[in-house]
Structure 1
Amino acid sequence: MKKSIHLLCILAMCTTIACVPAKKLEDLQVKYDNLQSDFDEMKTMKEYGDNTLASLREQYAALESEYDQTKLDCQEQKVDFERTQASYEILNRNYKNLVNSNETTKNDLRYELERLDKQLDEKKRELFAKESSLQLKEKESAKLKTELDALEISLKEREKRVNELEAKLAAQEKSVKDLKDKLTTSLIGYKNSGISVVEKDGKIYVSLDNSLLFKSGKTDIDWKGKTALLKIAESLKDLEDFDIMVEGHTDNVPMKSASIQDNWDLSVLRATSVVRYMTTEGKMDAKKIIPSGRSKYIPINPAKTSDARAENRRIEIILTPKLDQLMDILK
């Protein structure tokens, strides 16, 4: 579970802000935020439900114990009542038999009879109170059991959805690893030619040095870069569960020419050239790939040296797992 939550955190940085397709990136960010919020809420509700279920079970057990004791008291009260009633009937018969006996005996029996009448009424009231209490506890017990059953069903459903979510996250993690391995294998011949494939924050970054793709200040792709891009396109053209972003990055040296206004322009045009080539010559679906320019603002190496600037001039193809299936689970 911790590993899944870690992957969710990793997915939090899945959507980057692009210069060209702002609407697409905003939609991805909203999807991710909703996913994170729903996941946390579901987890909190599950923990709250577990605590509530334990409390209700304790109440239910206490109520059952009290119910059993009340039922036992009621049965004992009934036996006592029947015993008193039998005594009353015996005395009543004796009273009638002795009604004509001496006055003293008659008075004593009358007094005893009245006492037993009062005692019988009191026993009746006690019995009625016990029966009423028993009926009330039966209703409370039935209500509590209904609530327990409903809560258990709800918790099982939430647990099922959490398990489904964890399975999807694990499957996405595997697909990221498999795709990275596939790209690494297909580009093994370019290992020392300015191409790297890394997995970071739940995404795959295919980084290509500008020296492989473009001449200085140009946006036309060099033949060496075209060969590498075709291999990448071959690995990605049938990809379904990833969003594909092509980002152009420049160094911090200001750029301006007749056709290029600044570093923003250069980074966007280079990313667009790569996307155009991968969709036309590489036969990738243009609906699945987005070009974006980041100018000089996300350097790999912040040092102010020629080597650092060369390292920062690059094209990054960023592959981000889609969140659609995860969001369907949380609906």
Structure 2
Amino acid sequence: MKRILLLSASALLLLSSCVSKKDFAALELKQQETQDLLNSATVKLNSCLAEEAASAARIKELRDRLADLRTDNLALIESTKDMTVLTAQGAKNVEKSLESLKEKDLKISRLQDALTKKDSVTLALVTSLKKEVGLNDDDIEINVEKSVVFISLSDKLLFQSGSYYISTRANEILGKVATVINSKPNFEAMVEGHTDNVPYKSGVLIDNWDLSVKRSTAIVRALQDLGVKPEQLIAAGRGDHLPLVTNDSPTNRAINRRTKIYILPKIDQFYEMIETEMKNLSNGN
């Protein structure tokens, strides 16, 4: 560029010595226009060079970003493959869990059906006993204890004080109990004797426990005489070891002197019923 300016200045000097003022002025104007064009071209060139540098930097940035995206994409593809395997295995595990839950729910349902059936039988038994024995006497109680039906009889209905010989009125009540037991051949009757805490001193028996068992066996024999099968009968005694109230008054001691007759479904048959339900479940029935 300097060279061009020197040549232009030299040309002007040479021309000024050999041209007229008019021509010189025209040449000078022409030279100014050329200088303006040169300056404009220089500005455009610098602008283009700056844009080129910015474009090169942008291209490099995009290439770097593209490389990162490719790396991320490959990692994502590998991760997706692993997730596909995990998801498939997870689906199998969920399916197995659901099948297990369905099986357990079905077992629980079968057990609930068996228990409901037992409860229905218990309710029917209570109704039958109340109908046969009646509830017109405060010394007779018919109820359910822990899903077991029982009849509680005050000792004054059954025995004389300190005795294990059954009274006439007791035979009448036991006859009604026998009717119910005989109608339930798959049930058992456990007779459980209870006394107060006054020591037994007649000398025939050892103590109150002995008396409670002797009273139970007496009732068992009476029920057998009334037609109940002996294999359905159980004799048990509690003595004075399970009182209903404290033995601190004649009234309370009378409450504690009692005989309970439990009407029980045979345990082996109950479990057999549940076992049958489980076998039906296993066979898909």
Same fold (TM over 0.5): yes
The alignment status of 1:249 with 2:183, answered yes or no, reads: no
Residues 195 and 244 of structure 1, relative CA distance in 2, 3 Å threshold: same
For 1:208, which of 153, 162, 182 is the aligned residue?
153
SS in 1 for 2:239: coil
What is the aligned-residue RMSD (CA, Å)?
3.0
Residue aligning to 1:276: 221
For 1:314, which of 246, 258, 266 is the aligned residue?
258
Distance in 1 (CA, whole Å) between partners of 2:100 and 2:182 is: 42
Residue aligning to 1:161: 107
Residues 243 and 151 of structure 1, relative CA distance in 2, 3 Å threshold: farther
Q: Is the 8 A contact 2:196 2:247 kept in 1?
A: no
Residues 130 and 244 of structure 1, relative CA distance in 2, 3 Å threshold: same
Residue aligning to 1:324: 271
For 2:123, which of 177, 188, 196 is the aligned residue?
177
Deviations 1:270-327 (A, max 9, x none): 011111221x213223233221111112223325222222222211112345452586
Residues 126 and 300 of structure 1, relative CA distance in 2, 3 Å threshold: closer
For 2:209, which of 264, 270, 285 is the aligned residue?
264
SS in 2 for 1:140: helix
Distance in 1 (CA, whole Å) between partners of 2:120 and 2:72 is: 71
The amino acid that maps onto 2:86 is E
| Pairing 1:265-304 to 2, within 5 Å after superposition | 265-278=210-223, 280-304=224-248
Which has more radius of gyration?
Answer: 2
Unpaired segments of 5 or more residues in structure 1? 1-115
With normalisation by structure 2, the TM-score equals 0.64
With normalisation by structure 1, the TM-score equals 0.56
Q: Is the 8 A contact 1:165 1:326 kept in 2?
A: no
Q: Is the 8 A contact 1:202 1:320 kept in 2?
A: no
Residue aligning to 1:199: 144
Bigger RCO (CA 8 Å, 6+ sep): 1
Distance in 1 (CA, whole Å) between partners of 2:96 and 2:183 is: 45
| Pairing 1:73-84 to 2, within 5 Å after superposition | none
What is the deviation of 1:207?
Answer: 1.1
Residues 134 and 260 of structure 1, relative CA distance in 2, 3 Å threshold: same
SS in 2 for 1:158: helix
The alignment status of 1:151 with 2:97, answered yes or no, reads: yes
SS in 2 for 1:197: strand
Identity %: 28
Distance in 2 (CA, whole Å) between partners of 1:273 and 1:239 is: 22
Residue aligning to 2:37: none
Residues 330 and 305 of structure 1, relative CA distance in 2, 3 Å threshold: farther
